[in-house]
Homo-oligomer: A and B are copies of this chain.
Amino acid sequence: MLGVYDVYGGSPDAAVRHAVQVPVNDPLLLVSAMAQATEHLGFGLTCALSYEPPYPFARRMSTLDHLTKGRVGWNIVTGYLDSAAKGMGMSAQPPHDQRYEVAEEYMQVVYKLWEGSWEEGAVVRDRERRVFAEPAKVHKVKHDGAYYHIDAMHLSEPSPQRTPVLYQAGASGRGREFAASHAECVFISGPSPQTIAPHVADIRKRAVRNGRAASDIVVFTLATVIVGRDEAAAKAKHEEYRRYVDPEASLALMSGWTGIDFSKYKLDDPVRYVRTEAGQSSIEAFTASDPNRVWTVGEVAQHVGIGGRGPVFVGSPQQVADALEAWVDATDVDGFNLAYALMPESFGDFVELVVPELQRRHRYKREYRPGTLREKLFEPGRPRLPENHPGAGYRRL
C-alpha cells in the first residue's frame, strides 16, 4: 500500500501514533532475500498501478520472476487512498470507474511487454555464431492509448511465468468484472458464508461470460484463526488479544477503508447500514451478516482489531478445521487469505496445529507441486497464462 490512513479525525495522527500500516516500506525489495531462504513459497505483491509507470513496473516484475524462478504474483490494485494520490501530485484519486478504465489500459500495456515483446525462442545464446538473441524476434511494443503511450521493447528476457500470477480484490460491480476478466486468484472478504457465497458465484459466472472456466479463478476469503491445543486454550488467547486492541487504531483503519470519519461517533453508537464508494462494502458486510444484530461502533472496532473484515475462528484444531471446511462447502471458496492477530504467532499456530488436522482430512496438500507459482496453483507444465486468458492474446505466433 502506498499512502496513509488519514480520514479518522481528518489527519494521519491516529495511524502514526498506533503504527496502523505506517511506516510501510516497499515490499518488492524484500523478495530477493526471501527467495534465497525458501524453495516453494509464492510471493504475492500488492502494487497500485496508479503510481507505477508500466514500462519500469513490467521490468520490476520480470526481474522478480527471474530471481524467484517463477514464484511471483501481482495483486492488482488501482489505488484507493487520496493520501497516496497527494504524494503523486494529484489532489485526490480519480473517480472509481475511471480508475478501472486506466487499469484496463494498463493491463494491455504490461501484457504487450510481458507476452509480446520477446518471442519464444528469441534468446538463443549461440556461442558459435556469437549471438545472444535474434533481433528479428524481439519487438518494440507500440501503444498509443488514452492514458499510456509507449514505443519500446521490454528490457527483461522472458521470465519463467512471463506474466506474474494475477490477483485481484475488487468488490464493486466494476471491480468484479475486472477480476473476472484478468484475475487468476481473487481475494474476497465478508463476515459470514451468507455474504460470501453469492459473491463467489457471481465471480465464477462473470468468468464464464468472459470465455473462461469457473474453475480458472481461485477464490480466497479473509479469515483470522486463533487456535490452541484445546478450546479453552484458544479462548484464553482470544481474550488476551482482545485486551490489546486499541479502538482508535481500529477506527483509523475503518475510516480509511470506508471514507467515514469515525472520530465523530461514540463507541456505543449503533452502526447503521451505510454504503460508500470508497468503502468497498466494509460496513455493509457487518450490517448484512445478521440483519437482527445491531453492532455498535466499539464492537466493530473490537472485531476489526483482530479479524479485519473477515470472521475470527477460535477453537481447537478440530473446531477450526470444522469451521474452515463448513465455509468452503457453503461458499465454494477455494481457500483462505489468513489474517493475523499476532505476527508471527498466528501463522506459527496455524502451521503447527491446523495444517496437520486438515492434512488428515485430505483437505490440505502434503507437498508442493514442482514448478512455478502458476503451476503450483493450477496445472503442472503450464507456467504461462492459459490460452483463454486475455493476456495470451498479445503473444506473437
Q: How many A residues touch B, CB cutoff 8 Å?
A: 59
Residues of chain B with a CB closer than 8 A to A138's CB = 12, 16
A261 within 8 A of B: no
Binds B, one of A127-135, A230-238, A322-330: A127-135
Listed stretches A86-94, A265-273, A342-350; interface member: A86-94
Tell which of B16, B87, B133 touches A152, judged by Cβ atoms closer than 8 Å.
B87
Contact between B28 and A149, CB atoms less than 8 A apart = no
Which of A3, A16, A86 gathers the greatest number of chain B CB atoms within 10 Å? A16
Chain A contacts with B in 68-100, Cβ cutoff 8 A: 83-84, 86-89
Q: Which residues of B contact A153 (CB under 8 A)?
A: 4, 12, 16
- Which one of A18-26, A168-176, A311-319 contacts B? A18-26
Find out whether the CB atom of A29 lies under 8 angstroms from the CB atom of B26: no
Q: Is the CB of B53 within 8 A of A22?
A: no
Interface flag for A63 (CB, 8 Å): yes
Query: Across the interface, do A135 and B16 meet the contact criterion of CB distance under 8 Å?
Result: yes
Contact B87 A130 (CB under 8 A): no
- The stretch among A31-39, A181-189, A281-289, A292-300 that forms the contact with chain B is A31-39
Q: Does A278 contact B (CB under 8 A)?
A: no
Closest 8 CB pairs of A and B: A87-B152, A13-B135, A19-B132, A55-B87, A89-B149, A32-B33, A25-B63, A23-B157
Cβ B56 vs Cβ A51 within 8 A: yes
Whether A86 and B25, one on each chain, are in contact in the complex, defined by CB atoms closer than 8 angstroms, is no
Q: Contact check: which of B2, B23, B88, B150 meets A86 at CB < 8 Å?
A: B150
